[in-house]
Structure 1
Amino acid sequence: MIEKVIDIVREASRLFEEQKFVIKSKGDATNNVTSVDLSVQALIKERLEPLLDSSGFIGEESEDHEYHYDYLWIVDPIDGTSNFIRNLGCSAISVGLIKDNEAILGVVYNPFRDEMFYAEKGKGAFLNGKRIKVSDRDIEHSMFCTAMSLYNKNYAKPCFNIIEKVYSDCEDIRRLGSAAIELTNLACGRVELYFEIRVFPWDFAASDVIIREAGGFLGTIEYDRTVFNRPIPLLAANTKENYEYLRKVVTDEIPLIPYRE
């Protein structure tokens, strides 16, 4: 089935070529949606739903989010919408499949670099047909991808505290503006650490299984593992040692999730 999902995502990516798109605010000056987001999501939804009987669908631009299905498609039609609006060439389509609150299939495609990441549980992770794995770099030689809580800047201070601590120990920091791209960069060994204080299921559902199948570690706080029915702080790392280091830094600063939705 993953080949069909890849074909659907590649078909939808052609809509990125639309030059005269409409931009609308989602209630915050920093949170926008474009007509391309909507058209990409509509196409993917139409193509995905016949692949699995009685499966649900949640997209970032969906009005209703129902999580009670056995199988659930979770989709971000453009992860990195602000990048897309500004023509920065760093945006991706993200499609994850969840079963019993576990990611079992993921596809992330950056059409600007023609990079198709994908994985199925138990079958390995791939980039354009070649198997990928995380790097083995230690903290001192690690690149850290992170962000500062764009949609609620009240959470910026603990983010900056975490960044300051990790920056003193790691090689350098990057902020790309797309969680899906940052996480898949971790999966293929380009970066080693990731943290964001508040991400939504569509931001990481696809990358979750890709990172795990690439040998990496991914999780949150307060829960034993990632969950897909609410926003969460998200942590990821290439090795168990690096993950435990990052988790301690994060939980020292934010021992509990500071929000509910």
Structure 2
Amino acid sequence: MTNWSDIDINAKCWIKEAAQIIKNSFSQTLDIQTKSNRNDLVTEIDKKIEQFFIGKIRRNYPGHKIIGEEGFGDSLETTAGIIWIIDPIDGTMNFVHMQRNFAISIGIYENGVGMIGLIYDVVRDELYHAIKDNGVYMNNLPLNRLEEVKLSESIIGMNASWVTENKRIDPAILAPLVKNVRGTRSYGCAALEFAYVAAGRLDAYISLRLSPWDFAAGKILIEELGGVVTDLRGKPLNLLEQCSIFIAKPGLHHEILHNYLHKGDW
């Protein structure tokens, strides 16, 4: 039988070690490269941190599988077994330009079910963490279950850039939503936006396209607190593929999905 508590303890310890490596890099000149486009950045620190985690996991849990953003893990076709889904630095652009508003994100799944979720805001020293059916915590502070909120009183995380850059999207679909909520925010780090919904700092988060390492940990946190996690059509997320993302507090998810998002060709 899997001892999830021990795995959680080890993962937290490794996250703190990795965070120190990242902090030590702040004074260094980074080797910055691009991947899919000029804004999709990667540094040697991203790669170093992913390899750090993989080394720890391989030594301690040789039967576990790994998916990592930088490609040093396994190539998987099913979600069978125990899988660690790792983003060594989510928000690399923020890391490069601001040295803040980035996070280490780890989601651990067993046969497709989220068991442990960890999101660590390195600079603010805020660790959001959960073991399935045991609640969600920010450091040692338990987070409350998510409650319904009025649309007019909600704040939504949403990056406007993908609306203007993607020709499939009619901006008029989201304009009424933006007008009717209290406000919108964009932090440039999907993991933190998930964490902020969990902590009640945001009420919802919308993104056109995220990879499994962007949402794996956050999905566990939100669902543990009673929130709803789907794609923009209201369908479940695929842990092995890129997905559009819509997370929200209960009630608010249904209202936005059926009154606004259903109009889009996502």
- TM-score of the aligned structures, taking structure 2 as reference length: 0.88
Task: Give the match for residue 131 of structure 1.
Answer: 142
Give the stretch that moved more between structures: 80-89 or 98-107: 98-107
Superposed CA RMSD: 2.1
Give the alignment partner of residue 253 of structure 2, picking from 216, 236, 243: 243
User: In the alignment, is the contact (CA less than 8 A) between 1:49 and 1:57 conserved in 2?
Assistant: no
Give the alignment partner of residue 9 of structure 2, picking from 3, 28, 43: 3
CA shift, 1:59, in A, is: 0.6
Task: Give the match for residue 91 of structure 2.
Answer: 80
**Secondary structure in structure 1 of the residue aligned to 2:33:** strand
1:65 aligns with 2:75: yes
1:35 aligns with 2:44: yes
| 1:14-62 deviation digits (Å, cap 9, x = unpaired) | 1222022210111411111001101111111111234434211111101
Task: Give the match for residue 13 of structure 1.
Answer: 19
Give the alignment partner of residue 208 of structure 1, picking from 215, 219, 238: 219
Distance 2:124 2:177 in 1: 29
Give the alignment partner of residue 35 of structure 2, picking from 13, 26, 43: 26
| 1:135-190 deviation digits (Å, cap 9, x = unpaired) | 543211110001246599325734x4444122122100001100000110000111
- TM-score of the aligned structures, taking structure 1 as reference length: 0.89
Unaligned runs of at least 5 residues, structure 1: none
Task: Give the match for residue 126 of structure 2.
Answer: 115
Task: Give the match for residue 99 of structure 1.
Answer: 110
**Secondary structure in structure 2 of the residue aligned to 1:28:** coil
Distance 1:42 1:225 in 2: 30
Change (3 A) 1:147 1:132: same
Distance 1:195 1:182 in 2: 9
Distance 2:142 2:168 in 1: 36
**Secondary structure in structure 1 of the residue aligned to 2:63:** coil
Change (3 A) 1:120 1:32: same
Task: Give the match for residue 186 of structure 2.
Answer: 175
Unaligned runs of at least 5 residues, structure 2: 1-6
Aligned amino acid, residue 76 of structure 2: E
Distance 2:242 2:54 in 1: 22
Structure 2 matches for 1:153-232, cutoff 5 A? 153-154=165-166, 157-158=169-170, 160-221=171-232, 224-232=235-243
Change (3 A) 1:237 1:59: same
User: In the alignment, is the contact (CA less than 8 A) between 2:94 and 2:102 conserved in 1?
Assistant: yes
CA shift, 1:238, in A, is: 1.4
**Secondary structure in structure 2 of the residue aligned to 1:225:** coil
Give the stretch that moved more between structures: 212-221 or 74-83: 212-221
User: In the alignment, is the contact (CA less than 8 A) between 2:169 and 2:264 conserved in 1?
Assistant: no
Task: Give the match for residue 142 of structure 1.
Answer: 154
Structure 2 matches for 1:50-61, cutoff 5 A? 50-61=59-70
- Number of equivalences: 253
User: In the alignment, is the contact (CA less than 8 A) between 2:233 and 2:257 conserved in 1?
Assistant: no
CA shift, 1:212, in A, is: 1.1
Change (3 A) 1:223 1:189: closer
Aligned amino acid, residue 243 of structure 1: H
Distance 1:45 1:166 in 2: 41
**Secondary structure in structure 2 of the residue aligned to 1:197:** strand
